[in-house]
Structures are given as C-alpha cells and as structure tokens.
Amino acid sequence: MKIIIAGAGDVGSHLAKMLSEEYHDLTIIDNDETRLNHVTEIADVVTVFGSPTSIEALSVAGAAHADLFIAVSPAQEQDVNIISALLAKKMGSAKVTARINNDEYLQNENKLLFTEMGIDLLFYPEKIASHEIIDLLKQTGTSEFMDFSGGKLQLIVFRLDDGAPLIDKTMTEVAITNGNPQFRAVAIARDGKTIIPRGSTKFKEHDLVFVISKRVGVQEAMSYSGKNNIDVKRLMIVGGGRIGEMVAKKLEGTIDYIKLIERKRERCDVLTERLSKTLVINGDARNTDLLIKEDVNDFDAFVAVTSSSETNILSCVMAKKMGVDAVINKRLITASRIFRFTLSNNVQSIKCLNGSDAEILEFIANPNSKITKDKIKNLGFPKDAIIGGVISGNHSHIALGDTEIKPYDRVVVFA
C-alpha cells in the first residue's frame, strides 16, 4: 500500500517503524527536520519537509494516489490533523484517518458528520489508553486483556513468578490435567523472543504467557499463574493529564476511594472542579517521601500516567517494590487501530502486544477458503502462527488439532 503519515511525533514515528516492516510504500510529512531525521533512522520512509496542511507538501507526498493517509500530529494540533485529512481525501487519498483530542467528536451523531465530510476514522489515543487501564483494573491478575466478539473469548497475559504452578509443565501435561480445555496458551515471550508453544514446550520461570480463554475458564487459567484478581476499592493515580482525568472520571462511581497526584498546581485546580469524588493532591510522585506520606501502601492499585515514561516506571517500582505489573503503551495501542486499515476487510480486530514480537487478530473465515476445508491439524498452518479459539454464532471453543472451522466463523489467531 501507499501510505502517507502526517506528523513525525511519537505516534507517527512508531507507526512508521511498524508499517515499514510490512514493506509498505511509506511517506512521512513534518515541519520539524529533527523529527524527520529521527524517523529515517528507525524506518524505511521517504520524508517530506513541510506543514501537513500545505497543499504543496501533500502533493509532493503523493496524496492524490495514496491508499491510506494518517494524520497523527501531536494531540494539541487536532485541527491540523482534521484539515490535513480532509485535504488529502479531496486530493484523492482512498482512506483517511485523523488523531483528535476531543471526546465530543466521537459521539455517534458527530462521528457521522466527519464520515460525511470524508474522514474514515477518528481516533483519540488518550481515550483508548484510559479504556485499557480500566479493563486491566477489572482483571488485576493479568498484565494485558482483550475481549473478542463481546467477551466470548478473552486474551489474558501473565508472568510466571517463582512458585507458579505452570513452571516446568509442558503444554501436553497442562492439556491432560485440563481435560476439556477452557483455555489455551498461544505464545510465550522469553528472553526477548516470542515462542509459539507446541505439545513438548515447557514453561519456565519469568515467562510471559499469552492465553486465549473462554469466559468461564479465566479464573482457572489464572490459577496456573499463581495470581488472583484483586477487588480494587482504593486507587491511586499519578498524573492528571487527559488519561488520568478520564480514568478517574470513569471509575468514580465504582471505586470507593480515588486519590490523584498531579505536579502542576493550575492543573490540580481544573481537576478539582471536574472530578467530584476524587481527592486531588498537588505534588511530584518522583519523590518517594510524598508517596509514603500519601499512604501508597494502603491502596489496592497504582496507576502512573504522567507524560514521562521514566516517571511512570520509577513511581510504579517505588509503589510496588518489586516491579511493574503492566505497561500500557499509547503508541502501540494507537498503531493497532491504524494497522487494521492496512489489512483485509475480513480482519475484525487486531492488537499489537506489549512484551512480544507478535500480534493477535480476529478473522472471519470466508466460504470456500482453505481454512474451512479440513481439520486444523491437516491444514499446514504456518509454524509462526497459532489458532487460539473459534467463535461460531453464539458459541465459542478453544481450537485443537481436530477442530474444523466453518464458513463465517470468527477465528482468533496469534502470529
């Protein structure tokens, strides 16, 4: 595909790196030469120096014949993204998508306005990240979580710490113990490598294990990790930007007590007005004494969402003393949304996963496609991919060698 990325900031450069690995014809536009130089170091792209709203720059980049135009200038440049996407569409780009920072635009009746103008997708990275955090707080034993087809199948991810029952067991041994499987390990991240497990694969301490599970099997799957869900009643949030505010606002009705720490006093004043049931504290969470003073050990969960990754990680380590449970990467989850536009219409969802060199996809099986012709074990399915589960109508089941996939089934694949 010919893809143009307007904006070479964090999200744009991450997208460029990811899409260049798929051998797309990539061009990136930005009016900052330093950012353009950085992108050329990490991705195979053609750069165009200029404003994303410049018709000349768009023309040089090839907007007239682009398959996909992605406007991802930083959040504060929302208007630049919308204008550049609209211009690209009018010039001939087949599909256009724009980054926004206004929740109002995502309301159904307002999304229709943008669709009628020609923008195919609006995305709000901070809102996507806040939803991921809220999902993880519901499933505290896992470091990543994803629903398929309204929860009929779920992805859970956990690390095997010392004493986890799964350590030193093979896939076959777990399957025998499990009987009629409600879940299946589809990948292991170990020492920087991603392993697609087979029957003889043995789990080791510190493995990051990716599991596809039916809803009824989640608790049993978690029991193999030695981790249990915590009922979060008290939550501490560090960082009062858009993500922190959205998480607090969404959870004020379901969590008993929320404390939010923000470094900028003027932002604290704004948050105090907008959040009715959250205690807002002005302070710097890099200060260990502040966390102790604010009784960090009395909270069930700790979320750090400042603009600094270093601050987030360090404050989490201080809060937990032994490391971070989950890292939510705003660039990565945004890239997943955009990446779907480069794939077949039969791909219903895709997620690029933290901690592994892999993606998980949900396909619809076409009638007469090869996958519907035989049992999975006879198909010669690629060795670097694995089918985790199948959803047929309202029923879901874990995929095994004898599983047969029917036309229009939804198939969850880890690759």
pLDDT along the chain (415 residues), means of 10: 93 87 90 94 95 96 96 87 96 94 86 90 88 80 74 86 88 71 88 86 90 86 78 91 94 94 96 96 88 88 86 79 64 73 71 75 90 92 90 89 92 90
Q: How would you classify the pairing of strands 46-49 and 25-30? A: parallel
What share of residues in the chain are helix, strand, coil (percent, to 5)?
35, 25, 35
Domain covering 331-414: architecture:
2-Layer Sandwich (3.30)
Does 3.30.70.1450 match the CATH number of domain 131-225?
A: yes
Rounded CA-CA distance 3/62 in Å is 9
The answer to whether the CB of 49 falls within 8 A of the CB of 36 is yes
Domain covering 234-320: architecture:
3-Layer(aba) Sandwich (3.40)
Tokens of residue 309, six digits: 């990754």
Would the CATH topology of 2-123 be identical to that of 234-320?
A: yes
User: In the chain, where are the structural domains located?
Assistant: 2-123, 131-225, 234-320, 331-414
Q: Tell me which residue has tokens 């099986």.
A: 365
Q: Which of 304, 301, 322, 300 is nearest to 313 (CA)?
A: 304
Q: What phi and psi, each to the nearest 5 degrees, are found at residue 75?
A: -55, -35
pLDDT of residue 322: 43
The answer to whether the CB of 386 falls within 8 A of the CB of 400 is no
pLDDT of residue 345: 67
Superfamily of domain 2-123: NAD(P)-binding Rossmann-like Domain (3.40.50.720)
* SS3 state at 225: helix
What is the maximum alpha-carbon separation in the chain? 65
Q: Tell me which residue has tokens 């009987």.
A: 179
